[in-house]
Structure 1
């Protein structure tokens, strides 16, 4: 069995956060999604995050600040939506909005049998939240 530091089973999302806002992103994910930070390693500048490992709803999420001096440019999020499936989509939805997420697609009962909606976080990443239909 993997320990809490080992997210290497299945597929793990790894986000790059622009403009040195990695610490703010960790704070947001803690407030919005109840994330627990398992570990953090800072760059030599003592500010930017080289690696952070979070647990959200039992799954791992890794992130780092962007390092354009090593990559030749800024990584821009595109074409990815991170999904959280939970027993109470409304509770997770309201917490994310209160933390500063914005609505892409309103949370509602969907024809395929889930309560589902999409949000944007303040760092340019797309999230969906889903769960059982609400009566």
Structure 2
């Protein structure tokens, strides 16, 4: 079936096949050329480990810092990506802003928040203790993303 038929639902008889997914990995897009700084922050604040990185091969001038197309980071077995955003690029779709909250689970919420703040994050809300979960708090990183840190 042609792509335009899928977009337009063809004759109305189209049934999408069951497509299994094996994983989901968020991509955090930061203003260029700050992805390298964001990666350093995630390492310092959350103990992220860098798995790999793909750099932009083209540079406008020799003195320019190469941009990061995608850096793969891992926190506690969870993988996410960080990328530089260039306003005139068609490679990355534009979103409505930082409408994502990353959730981290830990046994020591207070220590995790303190570590993130010492690395440059800002506390978004007071730490709350809940009946179903131990406690949770929120920090905003220097790149505008909110991290919900909670214990079970």
What TM-score, normalized to structure 1? 0.82
Aligned to 1:106: 126
1:48: Cα distance to partner? 0.9
2:73 pairs with 54, 57, 73, which one?
A: 54
How much has 1:67 moved relative to structure 2? Answer: 2.3
Partner SS for 1:68? coil
C-alpha distance in 2, partners of 1:54/1:113? 27
* 1:69 alignment partner, SS class: coil
> Which protein is richer in strand relative to its size?
1
Question: Structure 1 residue 29: deviation in Å?
Answer: 0.2
2:47 aligned to which of 14, 34, 45: 34
Relative to structure 1, the CA distance from residue 101 to residue 123 in structure 2 (aligned partners, 3 Å threshold; closer, same or farther) is same
* Counterparts of 2:49 and 2:55, CA distance in 1: 17
RMSD: 2.1
Match of 2:107 in 1: 87
The structure number with the bigger radius of gyration is: 2
Runs of 4+ with deviation above 6 angstroms: none
Q: Which runs of 5 or more residues in structure 2 are unaligned?
A: 1-20, 60-64
Conserved? CA contact 2:32–2:67, under 8 Å: no
Q: Tell me how far 1:51 sits from its aligned partner.
A: 0.9
